[in-house]
A and B are shown apart, each in its own frame.
Chain A
């Protein structure tokens, strides 16, 4: 039992941190520009594919650094030549633009890298166990992933709270016009934030690629969950996204680990229901992949602004 708890916690935290890397960029872009970037998960996918292609030439570590930069650059270009023009036509146009962009990226990835998974793996020495507990290996790579995610979170916090750029970003959040009148180049700031957000998604891709799988479906499967994170955490709240990511990561892994059905739980609370019924016989494990969406519905009903959100939707 103890080993399940320990490994479920580790796995949940790892998955949660990966979700956070992805959603931090999304929530940053949203809070700043009011753009819900539907193509965000596609940038995540691009990060993985770029790192895969570069990794074959220059090795894993340089690719880990370069791929997010490349994705960020691409994101900046998209903002400058795409979003900015569409912006004049309002939010719906922006939404449709990013929605279309997601499809374009998906198709391009299939054209260039094929429709099946590519063999993007972490270097062999990182596959060695970091520690072995109860006969289960925990690879060095997973440890590195946790480290990178935590470092990223600290750097992000530092950037936003302690630097001049961060101050400008925070100011532009609420008083965009005023920042502009003070002589700062707000469009360039927007471009930078969009590019930076995409770079964070790219970084998540570089790490998520070997961890999950690098295939054209990776954006579609993770995309909805990232939106759930942002909504549950509270639109535009970085700390909220952090809590929400960890919550979803842990919920999902623990639900799998618990061998109980809905009836078992209800019966434990003194209710008397049929343990083999159509609905009550459903096990928690089979509900696990649904947990993010159940959480989404509950949050929208009981706390529509999200865990830490300030903006009313």
Chain B
């Protein structure tokens, strides 16, 4: 007599269990106000835009994805407070990109949290903090990097510079923290190996996001007689640097990591044309109609350009991983992400299982005018000049990862 009722109850419970889709929250811990907001805000808008598309296509294994923005002002301590806030709110997925100093603090904190709270693990998806250490000596199972690290970028960049025989003197200017030093060190080592004849005529470090007036640095570069400048600067530090250089008529081209950061194109205008190079996973031509559509839509929606192809790739891979794992549990998703391959508009990308460092083709592009899709509402954008294949970008790792049992 009671049996049918029980089966009905059980069935309805089961139904509830599968049908009640959860909302998966992904917390973005990045500068959303202050001098570096121009680096964090576009990522936030971009993620929200990409999440819309994920949700329209069935979400993360049937669960809705929601992006939560937490402002850290590029401050490691502030970031840890925000991380704790996210954890207290039950958020299991965290993403961050601006500042390896912040990433370093997050990795340590998440390692500790996950060790102490089994069953409540947090996964850290890194979209732009590129200190090579995070996928080498300091690699962590809970950390996945969706951007090429500083060494990989330098590897690609120096390949390109090595072929350019006109460059004989190189000036390095970087931000004074782990990432800036990593860029400088990689540049010196790789240039020495690939082009021993190139002379490093300067190697400057300035504090992160503190310098307003770059003219003294520019005079120094000018008088060093450099043929090229290499910089890993980002945020206002790249905008102000190249602006000061243009103003003083510095002829040497800038080989940058983040030359297409928001603000650069607007501030430079014609003076940046043919002078600012960037190494990135994408460029500003948008030959792929789907990408062109996204550029147009995102710009109309939020006023930001489709700069972060890797954020779309990151969410697409996350979606694929939740489906492969048939779960939204971070541990299972992390295991599914390891070794995952995916086709993107620029070619195949692979999340290397050994160190959780994405392997992807990179592009060198240069600022040009009269572009079909101009950045920041101007006619300027970054035009592709070289493609470096995945295999050539790739570097070995020293990571010896400890995996959960």
A positions within 8 Å CB-CB of B? 1, 3-4, 7-8, 11-12, 14-15, 110, 114-119, 121, 127, 129, 132, 134-139, 211-213, 215-218, 220-222, 252-254, 256-257, 283, 285-286, 288-290
Contacts and interface: CB of A to CB of B under 8 A. Distances in A.
A8 B216 contact: yes
21 contacts: A7-B219, A11-B215, A12-B216, A15-B213, A115-B33, A119-B267, A121-B267, A136-B219, A139-B247, A212-B212, A213-B267, A215-B35, A216-B37, A217-B34, A220-B34, A220-B35, A221-B210, A222-B212, A252-B216, A256-B216, A289-B207
B212 A116 contact: no
B176 interface: yes
Contacts of A211: 213
Of B32, B213, B262, B266, most A-chain CB atoms within 10 Å: B213
Given A117-B266, A215-B236, A135 B216 contact: no
Contacts of A254: 216
B59 to A, nearest CB: 29
Contacts of A114: 303
Contacts, number: 122
A295 B222 CA distance: 29
Contact of B37 (A116, A127, A135, A138): A116
Contacts of A132: 249
- Interface size range of chain B in the complex: 35 or more
A212 B369 CA distance: 24
A212 B213 contact: yes
A116 B35 CA distance: 8
B236 A117 contact: yes
Contacts of B266: 117-119
Interface string B131-155: 0000000000000000000000000
Contact of B219 (A11, A139, A283): A11
Contacts of A118: 266
A163 to B, nearest CB: 34
Nearest to B212: A212
Q: Could you say which of A12, A116, A215, A217 has the most chain B C-beta atoms within 10 Å of its C-beta?
A: A116
B78 interface: no
Interface in B243-277: 243, 247-251, 262-263, 266-267, 269
Contact of B262 (A7, A116, A127, A136): A116
B85 interface: no
B206 A117 contact: no
Given A117-B38, A127-B247, A221 B220 contact: no
Contacts of B20: none
A143 to B, nearest CB: 13
Contacts of B61: none
Contact of A137 (B38, B213, B249): B249
Contacts of A221: 35, 210, 212
B222 A135 contact: yes
Nearest to B225: A135
> Shortest 10 CB-CB distances between A and B: which pairs?
A217-B35, A137-B249, A256-B216, A116-B38, A7-B219, A253-B216, A115-B37, A119-B266, A117-B263, A11-B215
A89 to B, nearest CB: 30
B286 interface: no
A116 B303 CA distance: 11
Interface in B196-213: 204-207, 210-213
A144 to B, nearest CB: 13
A14 B35 CA distance: 23
A30 to B, nearest CB: 23
B219 A110 contact: no
Contacts of B38: 115-117, 215
Given A15-B213, A213-B240, A216-B37, A257 B219 contact: yes
Contact of B205 (A3, A110, A286, A290): A286
A130 B222 CA distance: 17
A8 to B, nearest CB: 6
Contacts of B32: 115
A211 B251 CA distance: 20
A285 B213 contact: no
B267 A286 contact: no
A116 B205 CA distance: 24
B295 interface: no
